[in-house]
Chain A
Amino acid sequence: MKRIFWKKKGFFQGLFFGVLVLLLILSTPSWAKDILIGLDGPLSGPAASFGLDALHAVSMAIDEINAIGGIHGDKLKLIAKDSMQDPTKARANAEELVYKDGVIAFFASTLTTNNLASLEVTTKGKVPHIIAGTTSDVVCPAEPGKCNPWVFRLPILNSWQAEKLAIYAVKNLGAKRVALMYDSTGYGLDGKKNLEASMEKLGAKIAISETFSMTDVDFTPQLQRILDAKADAIITWTLGVQVAHIVKSMKRLGLTLPVLGSEAITEAGFRRLAGAPAEGVYIADRMPAAYDSKDPKVQAFVKKWRERTKMEEKLAVPSWSVTYYDAVYWLAEGLKKAGTDREKLRDALENSTFTGVTGIQYVFTPQKHNGRSGPDAVSVVQIRDGALVTPEK
């Protein structure tokens, strides 16, 4: 008699294995691969705001690129790791990202020591090491050919800021006797060196240099000496907290000299701490002011950023976030041209020209792994009404 087919010997076993094989095939999407991008930064702890600014920018750019088709259909995927302020963690994160996850590019921490720690790993592992945050000259020197071939840097440099500030004080503000105020940390001393060199290049006079420690709160003595020296402008090279103290002390003394500072004080904390005395301060920045930009593309970007991060209106967008955002798009162009082979990608990146969302031009050549050009890449912005705007002069 005819046996019902499902009672035949071995039917269910066959069915079972057939389904299993089908599931296996279905579970590995072989028609679209994710392109992995690694990011290391301070995502928690004291420096978290910088790390999060970077993370938001990179995520935003990746989401946008994926939404319009990714890289020839393949989606970008971000793997972000937290190294806080610990260089050993940064190194460990880099090793995981390079060897375990196999990322095709690595965004370094905004903190220089962590940056350097991860750089050893990424360059040995032959992964493009992208610096989009820090302005320190150390990691990728501007001299031709001095930068490691796997390292790429997009922001401006401290030495360029110093030169621009010196030029601005002397040429735009007409200062004849400039006073320097720098802190006693490596950052401050480095700034003093750069500023002195720049002033000498201009043939201008430094009326007096005053230093201070990061724990000083009252600057009456230093400002008195600056008054006595008949200075007509003050260039500061320190972080926001100290500049806040300086401008508050100036207010108490009724001093109305123009004050200029390095990019570090574009950070909102300076304005929050200083309050009204921060008005009028000039700051070196890596891009022209976004808040009052007349460029509709810039305004659209700022609007998108604020919607995504709920940032206050006056703060527009942090400059370094713009660099991270630009860096992702620049990387994407490189990927579209060269594919995911890291050597080919690196070659493409070091022969690229890219225009960022705010109109900034980045130009890379084999000899020049710094995307920006020099002191001309530095813009000067001014604090008016709590926002960073284009100065009148």
Chain B
Amino acid sequence: MLETIFSGLVIGSIYALVALSFSIIFATTNIVNFAIGEVVMIACMVALTTIVSLQWPLLAGIFTTFVAVLLLSYALQMIALKRLQRVDVNTAFMLTLAVGIILNNAALLIWGDKPFPFPSLLGERILFYIGRLAVNQQGMGVIVAAILLMGVVDWFQRKTLIGKAMLATSLDREAASAVGINVNLIHTLAFSISALLAGAAAFLIAPFTFASYYMGMGIGLKGFAAAILGSLSQGRGAIVGGLLFGLGEAVLSYLFGSNARDPLLYMAFILVLMIRPSGLFGVSKWQRVA
């Protein structure tokens, strides 16, 4: 059981990173960016091409990957936001969905359908054992890196001025604008941070999942569900949601068998939402409709 819990936490850390990505964008722009899963996938494939196929030095490959991801998220922001300042959020997230599908198909065309093995950049040496489970550098690295990244984002949001501006914008966009916060800049910042998290998630998870054009769909969907579970608007809530989701998957699978895992998991998910619709840690927001 211990082994199951640990592996659940590893996967949960990835879900948490993705959930946080969703949460940051949603909190500041009220848009759900459905292309996040595909952004993770593109980051993976770019990393694979530069580091493995083209044999670039590791740092160059990593740098290129993050640049690509930032450019991609900027394009997403332009498509979903800039031209539609007053349009409603549903259209915006439909657009992100559409972009996601385009990215998915583009990846299929460019890289083909076969999964590729992804190198464990953090190393494969076994560090210690939990029960029978050998925890290697990559496995431990996922948890440590995820905690670090989320900690940094959290600190950034609460302790730096710009971060606080982000929080302010997410609480009340009009008021933030009224006190002189450049809302457009904040939006760009949100998309960028989200993209960087997605890029990091790619490097952490690809050794486990292999890199393929379809890897983004599962991660995106589960990350989104995890964010809803925790709280779509509160970063910390989203993180916990991700960890719970990962743990839930693993533990339920172990206790009740894999057949029962998904029905049970999503039933629990629905129950939570029925009791707390804004997520476990969400705060209900009153919104003016007129």
Contacts and interface: CB of A to CB of B under 8 A. Distances in A.
Given A217-B208, A269-B115, A272-B117, A224 B4 contact: yes
Contact of B210 (A47, A253, A273): A273
A222 interface: yes
B218 interface: yes
Interface stretch (B46-54, B160-168, B190-198, B251-259): B251-259
Interface stretch (A207-215, A279-287, A308-316, A378-386): A207-215
A220 B8 CA distance: 9
B108 interface: yes
Given A227-B132, A255-B132, 17 more contacts: A45-B113, A46-B108, A46-B112, A49-B114, A210-B258, A212-B258, A217-B208, A218-B10, A218-B250, A221-B251, A222-B258, A224-B4, A241-B115, A244-B210, A253-B3, A269-B114, A269-B115
Contacts, number: 75
B254 A221 contact: yes
A72 interface: no
A272 B4 CA distance: 27
- Shortest 4 CB-CB contacts between residues of A and residues of B: A46-B113, A221-B253, A221-B254, A220-B7
Interface string B102-128: 000000100011111100000000000
B113 A254 contact: no
A297 interface: no
Interface in A6-65: 45-47, 49
Interface string A212-249: 11011110111011010000000000000100110000
A220 B117 contact: no
B1 interface: yes
B11 interface: yes
A224 B11 contact: no
B134 interface: yes
B4 A221 contact: yes
Nearest to B213: A46
B209 interface: yes
Contact of A218 (B7, B108, B257): B7
Contacts of A245: 210
A362 to B, nearest CB: 31
B41 to A, nearest CB: 13
A218 B11 contact: yes
Interface size class of A (residues with CB under 8 A): 20 to 34
Interface string B198-227: 000000000011101010011000000000
Contacts of A213: 262
Interface residues of B, number: 35
Contacts of B251: 221
Nearest to A217: B209
Max chain A C-beta neighbours (<10 A), residue from B209, B212, B217, B253: B253
Nearest to B210: A273
A3 interface: no
Nearest to B129: A254
B3 A220 contact: yes
B283 interface: no
B133 interface: yes
Contacts of A216: 258
A252 B208 CA distance: 11
Contact of A220 (B113, B116, B250, B261): B250
A381 B129 CA distance: 33
Nearest to B253: A221
A73 interface: no
B257 A225 contact: yes
A212 B210 CA distance: 17
Nearest to A241: B115
Contacts of B212: 241
A125 interface: no
Nearest to B252: A221
Contacts of A251: 134
11 contacts: A49-B114, A212-B258, A213-B262, A218-B208, A221-B258, A222-B253, A224-B254, A225-B254, A241-B115, A251-B134, A273-B117
